[in-house]
Structures are given as C-alpha cells and as structure tokens.
Structure 1
Amino acid sequence: MKTFKNVLLVALFFATATVLGQTKLTGKVVDEMGEPLPGANVVVKGTTNGSATDFDGKFILNASSNTGAVVVSFVGYTNKEVSFSGTSDLGTIALQPSNTLDEIVIVGKGVIDLVQERKTPVAASTIRASEIQAKLGNQEFPEILNTTPSVYATKTGGGYGDGTLRVRGFGQVNTAVIINGQPVNDMENGSVYWSNWQGLSDVASGIQIQRGLGASKLAVPSVGGTMTIVTKSTDNNEGGALASSFGNDGYYKTTLSYNTGVNEKGWATSVLIGRWQGDGYVDGTEGEGYTYLFSLGYKPSEQHAFNFTFTGAAQWHNQRSTSLSIRDFMNYGGKDFRRFNADWGTLNGEEYSFRRNFYNKPIATLNWDWNINDNLSLSTSVYGSWGRGGGTGSRGSNFGINPFRKDLTEAIADGNLPYRKTDGTIDFDAVVANNRAGNPYTGDTGRGAYQGLIIGSNGYSEDGVNSNVAIRRASMNSHNWYGAISNLKYELNDWTFGLGVDVRSYEGFHYRVLNDLLGLDGYYSTGNKNLDTGVIQTETIKASPFNDSGLGGAKIDYYNVGEVNWYGANGLVEYDNNDNLSAVVQFGLSKQTYTRIDYFDQINNVVSDTESKTGGYVKGGLNYNINDAHNVFFNSGLIKRQPFFDAVFPNFSNNINEDAENETITSFELGYGFKSEFIDVNLNLYNTTWADRFISRTIRGTDAVDDGTATFSGLKQVHSGIELEYTIRPFDRMRLKGMVSVGNWEYKDDVTASVFDSSQTLVDSATLYIDGTKVGDAAQTTATLGLNYDITSNFDFSADWRYAAQLYSDFSFQLDTRNWANDAAFLSPNNRGALELPSYNLFDIGAGYKLNFDNDSSLSFRVNVNNLFDTEYIAEASSSIYTDDTDPQVNPVTTVSTYKGIDTRNQVWFGFGRTWNLSLKYQF
C-alpha cells in the first residue's frame, strides 16, 4: 500500500520552498513498512523553508542555521520532528500512520472536527482512503468500520445500500453522521439512508469514527458516537484514474476521475463520475446507481482559500423488507436459503418486486477559509441538499399475497396466500389477471370519462370499483435542506478560543403516489379527507431517481410536510502546551422549531401551530502525555437533545404533544494510550446513560382497544463497556491490527404506555416490563484481528478475522398480542428478556498487486473474498420466541424446530455467505 511513486506527489501542499542556507540537510522518508513516501513535506521548524521528497522518498534542504529541527509530515501519518546540528545526513526517517484525518483537509478544515492523537480526549479510530478502496469492495459502506471497537454494521434486508450502523449499542439514529463538517441525519427522525450515499467509497478521503460524545462542536445526535467522513477536495496535481470492479451476483462498477491541477492563478478542478449495477446477493434485489462529484478550488492568496463541491449518488434497488422466520428461509430458500426474499416474483417473465427504493440526494457545499491574521481565522461552509425519491410497496386488499399476523410458512400452510407460487415468490401475472377481472366502472357523476374502465380502490367498492385488487404505490420522502456553519478561532500562545454558529432549514415532503397500476386503468383514491368524494387517478410516476417524483402531481393516501428550523451557537476553550497537557471545554445552545402541514388528514387544521424546543450541551476533557509512549485522558458531558419530529406531533396529528421533553444524555469516559515502534495500544472505559426518551408505536389487540397508538415516555438505557484497540509491527512489511470490545447495554426501569384509539382518545394503559432487558441489534462482545503483509513493494496480502457474541434480538416496543412474533411477552412481569442469538466467526482475505510504468502511471489489481468459509450466521433478529413458548392464540405447540438452539419461528435476517470482488485501477 506504500509505493505511491506516481500518486500524491505534493498533492496536499500548495507550496514548498528551498532557500539557500548555511546547512545542507539530506535524508529519506519512509512509511512504517520501510517504503519510500514521495511527496512528504520536510520543513525547518519555525520557518516556511521546506522541501518535498522525490519518488524515492529522498530530500535535500538548505537551512539558514547550523542547528535546529525539521518537521516531517505526510497525509495520514503522524508528524515527526528530527533535530540537526551542522551539515547533516538525517538518515532514514520513518513515519507512523496517524489516527487522524486532520492533514487531509485543505479547505473547510475549520468546520470539520477531527480527533488528534495524544491531544483530543476522545476515543476514535480512523480508516484511510487506501484501506476503504482496497477492502470495501461491494460491501455496504459502514461495514468497513466493523474492524473498530463497539461498531456493529450489517446489511439488514440485504438490498444495495440498505445496511445499518450501530456504535456502542446505539443505532444510527443516535449516531451522528457528518460529511465534510455537515450533519446528514434526517432532521425529522435522525435516520441515515446509506443508499443515498452509495458513492462515498469513491469520493471519501477517510473516515473517523469518534465513539461517545465525539469532538464535533455541532449539537448533533452523538449518543453512541460520530462518524466523520471527509470527501476529496480539489486535487492540486494534474492526473486521473480509471477504475473497474467486478463481484458476485453480477456486480460491476466503473469510475473515472480527472484533476486539472492548480494553474498559475490558483484555480483547480476535480471531476469524478461512476456507475454500478448488480443482481444482488439476495433474490430479487437487482439495482443500479450513479456517482458524481465536481470540485472547484481557488486559492488567490495565503489568506483566502475557496472550494466548491457538488456530489451525490442517484440509485434504485429492489429490497427485502417483509419479515421472515427462520423456517420461512429454510422452507422456501432452497440450498442457499439465506438468499430468499418474500417481496419479489416475476411479471411477464421479468424480475419484479413490490419493494423498490429510489433516490437522488445531491449536496452542494461552498467552503471558505480566511486567515485574518496570525492569530485569528474564520472558516465558513454553506450547503444545500435536495433529496427526491422514496420506496414502493403494495397497496390494496390483503387478498392472498402477504401474510397477515403470521409468518409465510403458516400462512401458506393455511391456504391464505393463493397468489404465491410453490417456491414462496409472488405470482404477479396472477395479480394482474385478478385486477383485470373486475367489473367496468359504472359511475357517472362528474366522471363519465372513466365509464367502462377497470378501476380499483383500497377504500371504495361501489359503482363497479373493485376493492379486491393490489397495486404498487410509492411512498415519497423528499426534502429541501439548507444550512450554514461558521467558526471563528483565535489562538494566543497555548490557548485557543472558538465561537461558531450553525443554522439549518429543512422542509420534508411525505406523500404517496401511484407507481404501477398492475393492469388497472385507474385507482379510486379516498385518502383526502377534505373531499366529499374520492378521486379517480390514472397518473403514475416511475420508480427511478432521475424522473419526476410526483411532488406537483396527484397523490393518494396521505400528503404532509414537516418544517424544521435550527439555530445554534457554540463555543470552545482549549489549552495545549504543545508538550504534555491539553484540555478542552465545549458548549452549545440550539433552538429548534417544528411545524406540521397536513393537506389530507387534518380537516380544519391544515397548518399546525409552531412548537419551539431549546437544547444544548456541555462537554470537556483532558489529555496528559506522561511521556513519548504513554498518555491518559478523560471526557465527560451532558446533552439535552430536542425530541424528534414525531414526538412533537405523535399519531400523525397536527396537535402538539405538550408532554414531549428533551432527551438527556450523560457520558463519562477514561482512556489510555501507548505508542512505540513495535506496538500501539488504546484502551477505553465508558458509561453512557440515555434517558427521557419518547416513542410512539401503532398497536393492535390490547384489552381495551382494537387498533390504536401507544406512546411511551421516560424510557431509559444505560450502556457501559471496555474497548481495546492495538496495532503491532512484528517486523518489516507486516502489521497486525485488532481490537476487543465488551459492552453491557440494558434498558433500565419498566415503562407504562398511554394507549389511544384511532380517534386519538385515551382509552387504556399498558406496562412493559423491560428493566434489565438487553439492548438488541448489536453484538455486545466483538473482536477482530487483521494481518497486512507486503510480500514485495508491489504485492500485498491481507487476512481478517471477526468475532461477534452477546447479540440479542431487537426490542421494538410493539404491543400486538395477536402477532406471535412481536414483543407481547414483555407485557408480563418476570419475562425472560430479549433472546440471545448464536455467536459467530467470519474470515476475509485479500491481495493486491501494483505495476508502475515509466510515464508516472500505474495499474493496480485487488481481489477480496469476504466470509471465506461461507459461514451461516444470524446478523439480526426482531422477535424473542423461546423453544418452550406457545402461541396463546392457537393450540399449544407439541413439536419445536430449532436452528443452532433457537426456535425457528423467530424472525431474523441472515448475514451473507461467501462473496468476492475484483478491482482494477489505472492511474495516470
């Protein structure tokens, strides 16, 4: 990975100067494997006098003094200071990989909060661009972080981009994702959709996962941690690259990039475009997407630097979202049952699925760095994103397609799913035939044009309208998001003072439209309660990211808009004596306003009142470097986080929830670090309490109400644990990197829900006995060990082992006592808690080779195999059925089927089997 002879030559430094002096300094700069580092920066300490290493890592530098020191730096490596006295050959200077991305950022550095080793008192792990491009392949983007402590990333249903990330047991709703300093978690519900960011592997310069409170000055949802992604800024050198990769199940991706280099006036441009496609490891999950990036840089002087970036990843992919039991997989999945998908089938001989996700979310950013004087600087970022798209699903009577309160196995055995084939897939040709078999429309009041046509509906069955139909609708979740971040920094001796502002304006559009009528001529919609009668619609949209999203057209079922505005200010006081002590205190205050507009369901209350919530945080810590090898740190903080949009407006209503309160997060952490030429070790102890939570869930089957909503307030979780991360360099060309993390993540205290009927009338209460229940969906014990070995300067090999244990079924707060696979067991005291799933071990291998040509170009090859031994394992589960449990709604079970010791009635997602990818890259 270390022979960058044809890349990154002076790539991140605008100027190096060599001046005549009295002392001639020479030397060679190499990486931790002994390979030359071309383009490394060598500067006489305290001056701007410097030079860059050549292709062989060598440098010549004239210093004006006989004694002093040089500072050697390179992107992704820790700076090293070397003293000299007189004319001197400084010999071979070896740099070690750093745990920071700080040197990567050229423009916008002041708004990107990165952890610096042995300085910032925060636990963090860094993945550099070279590792992302080498090892990620066709995996989900967050899966590259599975080698870091307390991170659990999975593919969930298995569609392209449908992966999820958990940090210290907290889901990605509570893990801040920041790209170039800008928050990307949905402002209404905190979600992150990785399918919107499929191209990040192509444009990322690196990732830093900051566990716990994190280093960000923004008021972001850093309950579990902060994932900071730094994308490529405008490259300073002319050149480009053409890359292609191939993988299992028809995966193919091509990427082309080109950089103009910096001209004499300080302008530079970088462009990247890519396309991918694949059939999907899971049956019926084909997809296609495009990646694009345009970056324009301008540096007119040493005081000012500008960079404009426009990037995005438009895509569509079929999904697997219908919950499946283990016995469903085994009964209908065939030899490799992990691939089975209940959402797809064939239509006219082609793959067709009820579930398709499609989205395009471009984001534009303008960064400006202004060095006002030697002590004062201002960094500003203005951004906007425009998301368009959504997901499709079935709509219509449940007339024999999807199981209802049963798993697929039981529903088919009962004869309830006549539109399923014997292999469990959907017969869409039969669905179309059933839709076309309806009577012609006979109504005439204002709708004469539709007479004689085949019209279907979900809520109307008169005038020849057929309600025994199924169509494919599209639930849209589009948005317009604008924001600005600006940080002013003043440095005086050992002190740094910072003030910042963070403003955001978000408008989310939520509605349903017709996507595929599946043989019908039109659809009779009764969704708009403001109308006395329904409306016949024939207009459909395509489930594609580059087509009309239907925002200005006819809609069905629901149409509402969420408006969220954000006004924040933050401050920082930092002390760093540049020797052994650094300390920081950060604080922030934010005001969030919420407004809900409902054009369909809120008669005479279309626009809600505006609610305001004020939140804030204070956090700080201290790092002490005992000596060059040892350091210790601690951090602590308190966050009062405003509730999500649905907590302010629960139950899809425009009525403000007066009981919604800020969530309270408290955290404390201790850390220890050790660094030597042979081994680096980081050890962390943490405790995080997440309290005052509010959630709302749709329920069915309580004693007092048939269907309604349950609201829970005062929920509390406590997450504590220990993390060990290490890198060992046993000899030249070899590096061992691993981690061990052990957590104890539990719910605390039982909780009582208020139960509302469909008219939002309080009718009942229900207690969930969850005190001590383990938090699910993330392995609480994980370990990894990775080997990287450079067999030659051009040929490398890697092998990785990963272990996951103490993985529990997810607890989703559902109260449907008529659905056997839900959380109804928690309505009883002394229940057995969440089901523990089997532990598992996975092994990955990879190898790469690089050919260097005389014209400063190169050709690289890389092959990776993930899950080498094709291990079967359960990655997630959403039910807690024990082998001796019986369904209270049916006769007691006399024979129980098990898989690795757990009941096969449990609903799970299996992890992927063996997968592979091969990549080629030509760089010029």
Structure 2
Amino acid sequence: MKLSIFTIAASLALSMGVCAQEQETDSLEGKKVVLDEVFVSAIRVTKQSPVTFSNLTKEDIKPRNLGQDIPVLMNFLPSVVTTTDAGAGVGYTGIRVRGSDATRVNVTINGIPYNDAESQGTFWVNMPDFASSTESLQLQRGVGTSTNGAGAFGASLNVLTDGFSQDAYGQISTSIGSYSTLRNNLKFSTGLLNDHVEISGRLSKIKSDGYIDRARSDLDSYFLQGAYKDDNTLIKAIIFGGHEVTYQAWYGIDAQTLKDDRTFNPSGIYTDLDGNTQFHNNEVDNYKQDHAQLLWNEQISDFWSTNIALHYTRGRGFFEQYKEADDFSTYGFEPIIVDGSEVNTTDLIRRRWLDNDFYGTVFSVNYKKDKLDLIIGGGLNKYEGDHFGEVIWARYASNSSYRDRYYDDSSSKTDFNLYTKANYQLTDQWSLYGDLQYRTVGYKANGDETGLVDDTFNFFNPKAGVTFDLNANNNFYLSYAVANREPNRNDYESGNPKPEKLNDFELGWRYVSANVQVNTNLYYMKYKDQLVVTGELNDVGAPLRENVGDSYRFGLEIDANIKLGDKFSVRPNIAISDNKNKDFFIDRDDELQGLGDTNIAFSPGLVAGNIISYMPCDAMSLSLYSKFVGEQYLSNTDTEASKLDAYFTNDFNITYEIKMNNVVKSIVFSGLVNNILNEKYVSNGYTYLDSWSTPGNTFEVQGYYPQAGTNFLLGATVNF
C-alpha cells in the first residue's frame, strides 16, 4: 500500500460513499413513482418498507458511462466490491455484495429474471453497454423483498430499462481510452406519436485490448422498444441482446509472475513442433444472447392494478481452447500407430458449446387503498439447455470426424413461485410489513461433471418487519427474512450438495432533510449449509463451492449524501463486517483437520467508498471517486498465503455541457481517469491444494487477477 492508514482514514472521514437511498428530497415521503416504474413496483421498495437498499438513476450513471460494465458503475454503492478479468472494466466483470458473489445477487430486468438458471451467475458481458439503456436500478442488500428468479443470498438487483420519452430525440456517443478502448453508440426516440405510441432504440459497439495481454473484447449490442400508453394502460414490447467475443483471461497468474510481469496471460499458450512458445490466436469466448419481453400494466380502478410479462431468452455460443498432448480417451479416440509407435495423445483445438432457451411469465396484482398496500404475484419460468463439445482440429484425429461431439449433455429447470406481501399503516407512525413466498424448483441434468441429477426443491420464504416514522425526517425499521436456495450446476461436481438456508435480520435508521441524507443499518445473516466459495475454480474458470454447516455475516453499513452549499456534495459509505464459518473442517493429506472459526472467503471486513462532487457552474461537474477494500482471503482456511492485500483506489470524473439552439441541442464532453494514484492492486484470485509434485505434503497454490494502473476514458455525446 502506498498510502498510510492515517491517509486512508482521513480520506474516508472526509469522503465515503455514494447514493443515499432516495434521490434529492427533503422528507421521507420521497419521490412519486413515474409510470414506467410500475413494471418493477412489485419487487422494488421505498422507505416505507423495512428493507436495506440503494438506488441509482440514469443521471447518477451518466457521467461515468463511457463503456464500462454495470458492476463497475455500481462500484461505489455500500458493501459492493467489483473485479474485472481483463483489468479495466470492459469484458468479463464480477460483483460481490456483503461478500456474496454474483450467484447470490438475484438480478431482474423489468421484473424478469436475468441470472443464468444453471450457474445462477450474471454475465453482463452478454449485454455490453446496457447501462445506456437503463433508466434506474435498485440494489437491495440482504434477502430483500420477494422477487422472481433465484432467491437472494447477498442482494437483489432490480434494473428498469429506458422509460418512454414524450419528445423525439437522437443521440450519438463515442468514447476512447486506454488499451485501445473504443465505444460508439446511437440512440433515438420518436417521442409520443398521437399521444400514445413511442418507438426507441440503441445500437452499440465496444472494442478494447484490455489491460491483461490479449484480453481483448469485441462487443456488439442492441435495444429496441415499442411502447403504448393511455390513462390506464402501459404496454411495452422490448427486444435487446448482445454478441461478445472475448479472449479468455480467467486463468490468472502466480505470485512470482505478478511481481515480474503482471499483465501476462497464460491463456492459449502452447509449444509448437520447433519448441517455440506460441499463443493460440482464437482462445476466445464467443457467445450471443437475445431477449424478448412483452410487458403489460393495467390500472383497473383507483385501487386495483395488474402487471403481466411474457419473456423469452435465446443463448448460444462456445469457448475455444488449444489443448496440448490431450488424452485420446477424453474424446473417444482409438489409439493409432505412427512410425511404429502407439499414439494415444494429441494436440487439438476444441470448442465447448452452450445452447439454451429460457422462457416464461411473471405477474402481479396490486391493491392499494387507505392503509393497505397489498401485492400478490409470482412467476413460472422454464430453462432448457444443451452442453456439448466438438474437436475442430487435431494433429492426430484417429477415428474421429470433423466436429464429432465428444460429449453431449442436456439439462432443464422449472422454477415456479407465488408470493403475497403487504404494507399496513397501523398508525401515523407505525407500519407493518409481511411477505410470504412459496417457491418450487425442479432441476434435471446429465453430464460427466454433474452425474445424473433429478432434484426437486420446495421452499417457504417468510419475511416480516416493522417501520416507525419518528417524524418527517427520521425513520426506523426492523425486519426478519428467510431465504432458501438450491445448488447450482457446478455444485453437483463435488458430490451431493444440500440446499442452503439464510435467516436475515436487519435493523436500520434513515434520516432525510434538504441537505443531509443518512442511512445506517445493522445486519446479521445466519446461514445453514451455506455453499461458500472454496477459492478453487473448475476447468472452465467457474468458482467451486461447498456446504459448510453453520456460518454468519454480521455488519454495520452507513451511507450518506451531504450537500455543502450549492456547489459541493459529499456522498460517503462504509461497511464494517465479521464473516465467519463456524467450526470449519478441511480434508488435508487424507486427514480431517478442524480449524475452528474461520473467515469466509472473499469477504473483506472493511469496505468504504466516497464521492466528492463540485459543480462550479451548471454546465460543469467535477467528481473524485474513492474506494477502499480491506484484506480478504481466497479460501476459508485463514492461511497467510491465501490473503489478498487491501487496496485503495481513486478515480477522477469531469463533464462539461455546451448547450445549443439549432438541430444540435447540446454536446456533452466527459473524462474519466481511473486509479489516478496508479495503485498496483489485485481484486480477485483463486487458490487450491496441490500434492501431485510431493505426495503426502499438500501445499496451497494461488492465482491472482491484477487490475489496471492509471488509465483513462474520454467521451463526447451529441444530443439532437
């Protein structure tokens, strides 16, 4: 670390965080819900609910939206830690909330599940530049409210796409930056036609070489929306999607390489027939995903409204690998004789494919009158996926034919849930919250990794809470929520995983005035059979998990938005937590060893952030973003070798708008300098036990994902 702990403490004291839980307002009444928000009203919350949350609007995202992924743009929310494979925010990105990884963050887009049904992860790389089509998002930390998709074990992220526009507009954006990063996008809207219909859309193209060697990205995406509205009806038909081709960068590097050559990428490495080191030029992930949504909201009466959505997602693609001296048996090849000798290994290039469909419906009915706000809703969703592998080239092909499938697996998953939730205003100050959800999941799979799987899970997830409004500015809440989760596909690699259960307790205080907003909450998340990340990766770079019996996360979160006059604002957050496995055991050298209470992997005890903003005039804004992430462990064993150092980064953001009165309405210039102090840091890694080279003497091996030093993005947006 370049900065002393006193410097860090001073910086945090002056400037922690981002985004109080509601945007500029001077009382707990908050803003009125706009018409577009009806699509997520069933799963979003306000200050009248005993749920811990943060909001980001289009205006919050816009200054930094220069091509980086949504997780990176959320980096300054409370308890959030982000990482990128390529090191600079373009390509594969990851997010953790309260130490829980992306498989625990339940993501919905317009109320429709987005997490991959099998892995339970979210792959934002499949929807590049999606932030440019995002109206707002809400991050609920903890279990949150009942929603569609897999249950939340760390957080829920609800994304609302672009609202309809009253007026026609056109917009051209471009940005350039370090590592040959280039983004171009085009947006348009017809405005309301005949006071009822609007058509809008976006096309985007992003390219980047990445900070890590050869970690290039070539990303395309689109968004097209048709909307119809009248006094009581809002209907949207939306199609969006993306195509990504990214050079693989998920292998990481060892500690010595981190010191000597931190941008080295071992992916695709092989030795040619002359003994020279080469890199396969197409060691890429190539995937395309298309989404279709039909959303219909109807205001039936002053008290009743309904919301129904149909959706379909089509995904297909592969990742390609060069394999040296791989066994014939893996591919069903028969040994052959070459120059009088038996050959049973070969160099080859293979592709491992995913081809899947996800479709279903989500729905809700809302009754709101006097003191009662009641929602009844649910969803029925089906996933069907094929997993298969092909050899597209081999030095010795034996008895194979071109693109023979050396494995051909299938899987299916049905997810059905019903929920009822209500807020009841007991008195002027007290309100009660209740939420009951029933969820049933059926999962079938066959494969060498999973074996034959045919599991059904039935979960009951109750939630309850109370909110107390001391006055127009002070609000207190207490809640208790239960969540249950099924294992994901990778969990079955390790044997017979158990479903996991979480009991989440939240106690919070919110203060809102014209110039100061503060949110403070204590949480205690008690897990049974939690599937914690072990630190290991499988052969496709996905984290492995295992049931650990009893574990917990206990923490304090504080975030604020403070106006210092008309020109300055400070938005701080800090999260202090204790994350422990109880009575943790490990199998080492065929002996079961008890390690007592250990830290949960990838769960830093201190995460803090800050935004200091200065507006010298209406046309210009300057912001300094700071982020501190404390030390964390790559495994659950508390060994020094598996510890990641703390890091502290700072970004500088500037925007300037030139207004015009002609065809061009305005031009907005943006600049972003990331990691201005050139911190050499690592935000992610892996570890595993190795005893091959020295049987009976197991030792840990670590891999690291270094992040970029000082880098920049510059952009311009022309508005018509």
User: What TM-score does the superposition give when structure 2 sets the normalisation length?
Assistant: 0.86
Q: Equivalent residues in 2 for 1:27-426 (5 A)?
A: 77=23, 102-103=33-34, 105-106=36-37, 108-111=39-42, 113-116=43-46, 118-156=47-85, 158=87, 160-218=90-148, 220-264=150-194, 266-299=196-229, 301-331=230-260, 333=261, 338-344=262-268, 352-353=280-281, 355-397=283-325
SS of residue matched to 1:329 = helix
Is 1:110–1:379's contact at 8 Å kept on the other side of the alignment? no
From 619, 627, 635, give the equivalent of 2:463. 619
Is 1:288–1:316's contact at 8 Å kept on the other side of the alignment? yes
Equivalent residue for 2:347?
470
Amino acid at match of 1:304: T
- Are 2:527 and 1:690 equivalent residues in the alignment? yes
Deviations 1:528-556 (A, max 9, x none): xxxxxxx51224xxxxxxxxxxxxxx412
Q: Summarize the Cα distance change of 1:161–1:115 in structure 2 as closer, same or farther, 3 Å threshold.
A: farther
Q: Summarize the Cα distance change of 1:386–1:905 in structure 2 as closer, same or farther, 3 Å threshold.
A: closer
Amino acid at match of 1:297: A
Equivalent residue for 1:911?
707
- Are 2:615 and 1:790 equivalent residues in the alignment? yes
In 1: Cα distance, 2:628 partner to 2:523 partner: 21
- Are 2:393 and 1:512 equivalent residues in the alignment? no
Q: Summarize the Cα distance change of 1:380–1:142 in structure 2 as closer, same or farther, 3 Å threshold.
A: same
Equivalent residue for 2:675?
867
The structural deviation recorded for 1:187 is: 1.5
Is 2:605–2:630's contact at 8 Å kept on the other side of the alignment? yes
Amino acid at match of 1:486: F
Deviations 1:185-238 (A, max 9, x none): 122231222211222122111222111111343363311111121111333321
Q: Percent identity?
A: 19
Q: Equivalent residues in 2 for 1:468-507 (5 A)?
A: 468-507=345-384
Q: Summarize the Cα distance change of 1:389–1:770 in structure 2 as closer, same or farther, 3 Å threshold.
A: farther
The structural deviation recorded for 1:383 is: 0.6
Q: Summarize the Cα distance change of 1:261–1:511 in structure 2 as closer, same or farther, 3 Å threshold.
A: same
Equivalent residue for 2:19?
none
Amino acid at match of 1:858: S
SS of residue matched to 1:328 = helix
From 628, 636, 640, give the equivalent of 1:803. 628
Give the number of the structure with larger relative contact order, counting CA–CA contacts within 8 Å between residues 6 or more apart. 2
- Are 2:569 and 1:744 equivalent residues in the alignment? no
Equivalent residue for 2:11?
none
In 2: Cα distance, 1:303 partner to 1:487 partner: 16
Is 1:293–1:312's contact at 8 Å kept on the other side of the alignment? yes
Amino acid at match of 1:485: V
In 1: Cα distance, 2:387 partner to 2:32 partner: 37
Amino acid at match of 2:469: N
Equivalent residue for 1:781?
606
Equivalent residue for 1:889?
694
Q: Summarize the Cα distance change of 1:381–1:601 in structure 2 as closer, same or farther, 3 Å threshold.
A: closer
In 1: Cα distance, 2:278 partner to 2:198 partner: 46
SS of residue matched to 2:126 = helix
Deviations 1:482-504 (A, max 9, x none): 01111011123110222112101
Amino acid at match of 1:889: T
Amino acid at match of 1:802: K
Deviations 1:19-71 (A, max 9, x none): xxxxxxxxxxxxxxxxxxxxxxxxxxxxxxxxxxxxxxxxxxxxxxxxxxxxx
Deviations 1:824-845 (A, max 9, x none): xx5xxxx757743322211111
From 653, 678, 695, give the equivalent of 1:846. 653
In 1: Cα distance, 2:314 partner to 2:75 partner: 30
In 2: Cα distance, 1:193 partner to 1:359 partner: 11
In 1: Cα distance, 2:618 partner to 2:547 partner: 59
The structural deviation recorded for 1:887 is: 11
Q: Summarize the Cα distance change of 1:135–1:711 in structure 2 as closer, same or farther, 3 Å threshold.
A: closer
Unmatched segments (≥5 aa) in structure 1: 1-75, 82-95, 400-434, 436-455, 525-534, 540-553, 701-709, 756-763, 812-825, 893-902
In 2: Cα distance, 1:773 partner to 1:158 partner: 29
Unmatched segments (≥5 aa) in structure 2: 1-21, 538-543
Equivalent residue for 1:538?
402
Amino acid at match of 1:489: N
Is 2:67–2:129's contact at 8 Å kept on the other side of the alignment? no
Amino acid at match of 1:859: I
SS of residue matched to 1:281 = coil
In 2: Cα distance, 1:860 partner to 1:732 partner: 22
Is 1:782–1:805's contact at 8 Å kept on the other side of the alignment? yes
In 2: Cα distance, 1:178 partner to 1:469 partner: 44
Deviations 1:643-693 (A, max 9, x none): 33455x5569xxxx5xx5431110101101112223211111001022124
The structural deviation recorded for 1:720 is: 0.7
Deviations 1:333-379 (A, max 9, x none): 2xxxx211111469999974463111111111100011111111110
Equivalent residue for 1:663?
500
Equivalent residue for 1:35?
none
In 1: Cα distance, 2:683 partner to 2:611 partner: 21
Considering only CA atoms, is the larger Rg found in Structure 1 or Structure 2? 1
User: What TM-score does the superposition give when structure 1 sets the normalisation length?
Assistant: 0.68
Q: Summarize the Cα distance change of 1:493–1:860 in structure 2 as closer, same or farther, 3 Å threshold.
A: same
In 2: Cα distance, 1:143 partner to 1:686 partner: 25
In 1: Cα distance, 2:679 partner to 2:449 partner: 49
Q: Summarize the Cα distance change of 1:716–1:193 in structure 2 as closer, same or farther, 3 Å threshold.
A: farther
Amino acid at match of 1:213: V
In 2: Cα distance, 1:372 partner to 1:133 partner: 36
In 2: Cα distance, 1:297 partner to 1:711 partner: 43
In 1: Cα distance, 2:352 partner to 2:178 partner: 31
The structural deviation recorded for 1:288 is: 0.7
Amino acid at match of 2:241: G
SS of residue matched to 1:612 = strand
Is 2:165–2:191's contact at 8 Å kept on the other side of the alignment? yes
Amino acid at match of 1:639: A
Q: Summarize the Cα distance change of 1:101–1:610 in structure 2 as closer, same or farther, 3 Å threshold.
A: farther
Is 1:675–1:681's contact at 8 Å kept on the other side of the alignment? yes
Count of aligned pairs between the two proteins: 684
SS of residue matched to 2:166 = coil
Q: Summarize the Cα distance change of 1:699–1:920 in structure 2 as closer, same or farther, 3 Å threshold.
A: closer
In 2: Cα distance, 1:304 partner to 1:208 partner: 24
SS of residue matched to 2:397 = strand
Q: Summarize the Cα distance change of 1:613–1:463 in structure 2 as closer, same or farther, 3 Å threshold.
A: same
**Alignment RMSD (CA, Å):** 3.7
